[in-house]
Amino acid sequence: LDVQRTQVSRLKTDRREKQERRSTQRDEEQDEIEALRTQLMSEEKLRAGVQEYERRLEHDMIVVSRKIQAETSKVKAAESYSAKVAAEANDYREGADAASSAITELNNHLKTLEAKRDDMVEKYGGDLEEVAERLEVDVRASAGLEGYRQNLGDELDIVRKKLSSRKSGL
């Protein structure tokens, strides 16, 4: 009987120890489950934060992309304007070169004409002065004769009027 009691007592002790181990194991499992739950919640918050960060990055990338497009179009417009200004400057330069060439040509032609004039003055200078003086004298004489003719015409008109008034009075 003693043996049985000992065995029963041992069984009870074993059972208690098993229950305690189970209870301890359950508590440990509960703690582990709670720790996992906390870890999952932290990871979920972290995941949500990462997703929010990704959304903000995507939004920022879209904004930056638009800014890059705007800047690219500004750069293209500036390059186009620069090319236009360069073309206008080139056209102006070509026009200035052409005008300079024309001016040089005209100056050379003027020098040639001046040289020809100087040669003619040297060659015909005295004759030309004489001719000019004769023309001046002739112009004065012609003006004097024209004045004289005018006076004679006026006197003739007066004489005609007097004659017609005498004929009418007779």
- pLDDT tens per residue across all 170 residues of the chain: 778 888 888 889 999 999 999 999 999 999 999 999 999 999 999 999 999 999 999 999 999 999 999 999 999 999 999 999 989 888 888 888 888 888 888 888 888 888 887 777 677 655 667 777 777 877 777 777 777 778 778 888 888 888 778 777 65
DSSP label of 170 = -
Q: Which of 146, 118, 121 is nearest to 131 (CA)?
A: 121
Q: Measured between alpha carbons, how far is 161 from 87 in angstroms, rounded to an integer? A: 83
Q: Measured between alpha carbons, how far is 13 from 19 in angstroms, rounded to an integer? A: 10
| Terminal CA-CA length for the chain | 211
Would you state the pLDDT for residue 127? 64
Would you state the pLDDT for residue 125? 59
Do the beta carbons of residue 164 and residue 157 sit within 8 Å? no
**Cα distances (angstroms) measured from residue 76 to each of 70, 71, 72, 80, 81:** 10, 8, 6, 6, 8
pTM confidence score:
0.40
H/E run at residue 19: helix 2-169
Q: Measured between alpha carbons, how far is 167 from 161 in angstroms, rounded to an integer? A: 10
Would you state the pLDDT for residue 128? 65
Would you state the pLDDT for residue 118? 77
Would you state the pLDDT for residue 3? 83
